[in-house]
Structure 1
Amino acid sequence: MVLLRSTKRYTLQDKYIVKKKGKDTYQFNMRVPKALMHLYPHKTFITRTLGTACIKTARIRRDRIVGEIAAQKESAYSNERVAFLAFVDTLKEAKQEARGNRYEAYYQLSTQDLLDTDSFPKAQLAASHSVETGNIPEGYRPTIREALHSWLERNTRRNADTLSKIKTTTDKFLKCCGQFDIELESIHRKDVLNYIELTIDSYSVSTVSGNLSRLRTLYKHAWQIGLIEQRPCPFSDHDLAYYKESTTQKTQMFSAEEVQTIMLWANSQQNAMADITKVGLFTGMRIGEICSLKAEDVHIENDVMAFFIRKGKTNAAQRTVPVCNELVPTIRKRLSILEPEALLFGMNGKQASRDFSHFKIESITKDKTKRFHSFRVHMATAFSRAGIDELTAAFILGHKGGKTMSYGYYAKADELQRLKEATEKAVVVIKRDWLTHKGQTTMPELT
């Protein structure tokens, strides 16, 4: 079969799309990935008809096939390991049928004749040894990808973010090891320490700790389903305190120019990032607190609007946060179209955090001490410059010291009014010190 590319100029947009000579319909044609050669024996290319003469439709169908192949690669094991497992099953069945009779095929024929193939000769010898002795030779033992695949099959109801993170973490660990897959029993503590050293400069201590937790989950799962015998987990009991002390730096404020650039970017977004970002700047709330707000968490009393933070990072995070006049019109507009139980900003906190971080790294700075959390420092500084007492500022920001105030979770009307006045004074400072450019306030209208 002769395959020709489209007569049009070939581009990456049409990668893997070809035409059979004399035919109008497109076909998919990709070289078999090394990790999947065992699934496509005696084949060099994966070829499928796309069943269309329309290039746009062909691209859509091509993308679907590429996705399927990517999923196959994700769950693929070593070719030798796959062959070994198949050979073990065949030899065990033959041995069971022989029932100790030395004249049966299992005892009379060679392993190659029993398996009826000359492929993977080393795997054949390993399978024969394993069936005879009960021991699995090194190079054919269960791998971390097998544990991952099994865990994914048994945890399909987990949320997409959890599934994605455990797959990504496994891939990154293997990349650090310089291998596509690795035997679980070949992973030693020194390998994990090396992984920590290689990643600690690129990720926060909490991220590295989370990655170790996911890898530990896979290792425990492998033992639970009998892939490995119980043994000390190389991913457990790593003291990251040293790294935390050496890498932890105080959150820094953005410059006035950076704040203005951030606000212009936020306002250009098609989602709720403009509102979320401005609420962060003018309240000092954490991004998770903002995105967790529901319409029913907005309280209005005597024309004073406030947010009720029901859950937070700490006990002190449960508080009443007054809404400044700058934000009131936008919040009212959102309330007019939302059910009480609906999220006020309709955006997941993790997604909002990723969007902000991506923009910050690409367009503002790679400095890890400058992040969305910096807006809390801006607000705290604004309270100080406005002459607001520390206890009031601590209560509004949800700092530990604020719990000593008598306001409690729900501030009363007169107390809420005092909190609102303090907030308005801080907002004046924020506009003056970070949003003013050449004598004018730079503040795009909220969407």
Structure 2
Amino acid sequence: MIYKRDRYLILDPCGNYMVRIALPEYMQGYFSGKKNFIKSTGTRDIRQARLVRDAIAVEFSRLREQLQPKPSGTKMERIINELRQVGAYAKENPIPLGEVALTCPSLLKLLDLYLLQFSEKRKLTTLSKTSKSVEVLLGHLKKKDVQLKDVNRTTVTGWLDKLKKEKAPQTIQNYISALAQIWDLAKNRYHDAPQDNPWRGHALEAKSSKVSYEVFAPGELAKVYNLLDDEMKAVTLIGMYSGMRLNEICSLKTANVKTIEGVLCFEVMVGKTKSAARIIPVHSNLIELVTKLLQRPYEGFLFYHASITDRADGKRSTWHTQRFTRAKRKALGEAGTERKVFHSLRHEFAQQLDRCQVPEDRIALLMGHERGNTESFKTYSKNSASSLELSGYVEKINYDFLLSS
């Protein structure tokens, strides 16, 4: 198990560190039914927060050990009961002599197998969503673990009906897709796994429910920008002049800013899609800012809050997403601005390039989108644009409110 030095620590909206520890079900009654124990450390210093966290964690472990239910019966009785359960299963599911009894494991064990098998084939964010799906399902069932045969279609549809009142369609679809893959894995590996996949055929049509983002109207972005702190202003400027996704910006390290063919460029190594890996010339209006950021990195990262964010899915942009959203709501209000978010800057970037008649395949190259559908285009046109050519397109991006401020 990998040790995480900032385990149990989260940031509150004011930038102070808080200790958050998940409460086992048997302890929740002692904490007014709460699922998490949360206390502020009263400091923004990560080193002091760790000391407070360590002291709390030690005392919490003692209390958990004290309250943890003890198994009923003696050790011998528990062993005998286990053997009797195996005997009962063997009577109902006889296995020919000489064959190894490889039975379908529980959901958590299957999750471990899935993560191990696809650790090199799936992105960290995808694997994290799979783990989250299992966690949410078990929370709904109020069980620590479950056998696949105990989850039927009625159980699934009941859970989905509940989720529809709480979650967005796309989130629900993500849960279904992840769990369906685990059930498929079991079906392909184990003779006694359920042959009917209860996660298939629900037709939620999540794609049709997706809401497109809107660009900021003239003057709106200026109002939001003026409410941001220095770090968020820097992040926002890079988003405006590069079209990069927020997490791509927050994941930037000093090694990702390099001079290529005499042009200073951002280098995106990995991203949301296979086409996300790309180079983006640094706009001339960003040269001074980027130079300053390179002089004071934070453990290699360009941005401090990205360097201290440590999530299981690898995302570095959690703090920045919250900050931008709060500034937007304060500047523009909540009504009618739901579709105006940080990602809107990416849409504005693409629209400006399009209005300047930049070729569509070059826009796709800068945005990290798939370029063309024909095999000849994919084979012979990949990475065909020079950084100097791309720089000419990026320089067409313009924001009047920054020039007038």
Distance 2:381 2:193 in 1: 54
- Residues 300 and 314 of structure 1: CA distance in aligned 2, closer, same or farther (over 3 Å): same
Q: AA paired with 1:66? A: F
Correspondent of 2:397 among 426, 431, 434: 426
Deviation at 1:233, TM superposition (A): 5.8
- Residues 303 and 202 of structure 1: CA distance in aligned 2, closer, same or farther (over 3 Å): farther
Deviation at 1:337, TM superposition (A): 5.9
Identity of aligned residues (%): 20
Which residue of structure 2 lines up, in the alignment, with residue 379 of structure 1?
349
- The runs of 5 or more residues in structure 2 that have no matched partner are 1-22, 29-50, 93-104
Q: Secondary structure at the match of 1:232?
A: coil
User: Does residue 1:148 correspond to 2:108, yes or no?
Assistant: yes
User: Does residue 1:64 correspond to 2:58, yes or no?
Assistant: yes
Deviation at 1:368, TM superposition (A): 6.0
Deviation at 1:206, TM superposition (A): 5.0
Correspondent of 1:327 among 286, 289, 293: 286
Distance 1:318 1:91 in 2: 55
Which residue of structure 2 lines up, in the alignment, with residue 124 of structure 1?
none
Which residue of structure 1 lines up, in the alignment, with residue 212 of structure 2?
250
TM, length-normalised to structure 2: 0.58
Distance 1:132 1:414 in 2: 73
Deviation at 1:237, TM superposition (A): 2.7
> For residues 25-40 of structure 1, what are the structure 2 equivalents within 5 Å?
35=26
Q: AA paired with 1:172? A: V
- Residues 61 and 296 of structure 1: CA distance in aligned 2, closer, same or farther (over 3 Å): closer
Distance 1:267 1:315 in 2: 33
Deviation at 1:383, TM superposition (A): 3.0
| Cα-to-partner distance string for 1:176-206 (whole Å, 9 max, x where unaligned) | 4466776643321132233334335654555
Correspondent of 2:237 among 262, 265, 278: 278
Q: Secondary structure at the match of 1:396?
A: helix
Correspondent of 1:172 among 136, 142, 147: 136
> For residues 44-443 of structure 1, what are the structure 2 equivalents within 5 Å?
61-66=55-60, 87-90=77-80, 147-148=107-108, 168-177=132-141, 184-200=148-164, 202-203=166-167, 207-212=171-176, 214-215=178-179, 229-232=192-195, 234=197, 236-238=199-201, 240=203, 242-245=205-208, 247-255=209-217, 259-260=221-222, 262-264=224-226, 266-269=228-231, 273-300=232-259, 304-314=263-273, 317-336=276-295, 345=303, 347=307, 350-359=314-323, 362=326, 364=329, 365=334, 369-385=339-355, 387-391=356-360, 392-400=362-370, 409=383, 411-412=385-386, 415-419=389-393, 423-427=394-398, 430-432=399-401, 440-441=404-405
Tell me if the contact between 1:253 and 1:374 (Cα under 8 Å) persists in the aligned partners.
yes
Distance 2:372 2:193 in 1: 49
Distance 2:301 2:52 in 1: 39
| Cα-to-partner distance string for 1:26-50 (whole Å, 9 max, x where unaligned) | xxxxxx976379xxxxxxxxxxxxx
* Larger RCO, structure (CA 8 Å, separation 6 or more): 2
Which residue of structure 2 lines up, in the alignment, with residue 10 of structure 1?
none
Q: AA paired with 1:284? A: G
Q: Secondary structure at the match of 1:172?
A: helix
Which residue of structure 1 lines up, in the alignment, with residue 14 of structure 2?
none
Distance 1:215 1:149 in 2: 13
Tell me if the contact between 2:133 and 2:178 (Cα under 8 Å) persists in the aligned partners.
yes
Tell me if the contact between 1:252 and 1:369 (Cα under 8 Å) persists in the aligned partners.
yes
| Cα-to-partner distance string for 1:244-276 (whole Å, 9 max, x where unaligned) | 22x12222224556534553565355xxx5433
Number of residue pairs the alignment of both structures matches: 329
Q: AA paired with 1:89? A: I
User: How well do the aligned residues superpose, as a CA RMSD in angstroms?
Assistant: 5.4
- The runs of 5 or more residues in structure 1 that have no matched partner are 1-31, 38-56, 94-126, 137-144, 442-447
Distance 1:253 1:328 in 2: 25
Distance 1:411 1:72 in 2: 65
Larger Rg: 1
- Residues 299 and 410 of structure 1: CA distance in aligned 2, closer, same or farther (over 3 Å): farther
Deviation at 1:66, TM superposition (A): 2.4
Q: AA paired with 2:58? A: R
Q: Secondary structure at the match of 1:252?
A: coil
Which residue of structure 2 lines up, in the alignment, with residue 17 of structure 1?
none
Deviation at 1:294, TM superposition (A): 4.7
Distance 2:261 2:183 in 1: 58
TM, length-normalised to structure 1: 0.53
Q: AA paired with 1:389? A: V
Tell me if the contact between 1:292 and 1:343 (Cα under 8 Å) persists in the aligned partners.
yes
Tell me if the contact between 2:164 and 2:172 (Cα under 8 Å) persists in the aligned partners.
yes
Q: AA paired with 1:426? A: I
- Residues 181 and 287 of structure 1: CA distance in aligned 2, closer, same or farther (over 3 Å): same
- Residues 309 and 331 of structure 1: CA distance in aligned 2, closer, same or farther (over 3 Å): same
| Cα-to-partner distance string for 1:312-352 (whole Å, 9 max, x where unaligned) | 5456545442211221112223444679x955556479543
Distance 2:62 2:127 in 1: 17
Q: Secondary structure at the match of 1:426?
A: coil
Deviation at 1:90, TM superposition (A): 3.0
Distance 1:79 1:223 in 2: 35
Distance 1:301 1:167 in 2: 39
Deviation at 1:299, TM superposition (A): 4.1
Tell me if the contact between 1:169 and 1:214 (Cα under 8 Å) persists in the aligned partners.
yes
Tell me if the contact between 1:293 and 1:344 (Cα under 8 Å) persists in the aligned partners.
yes
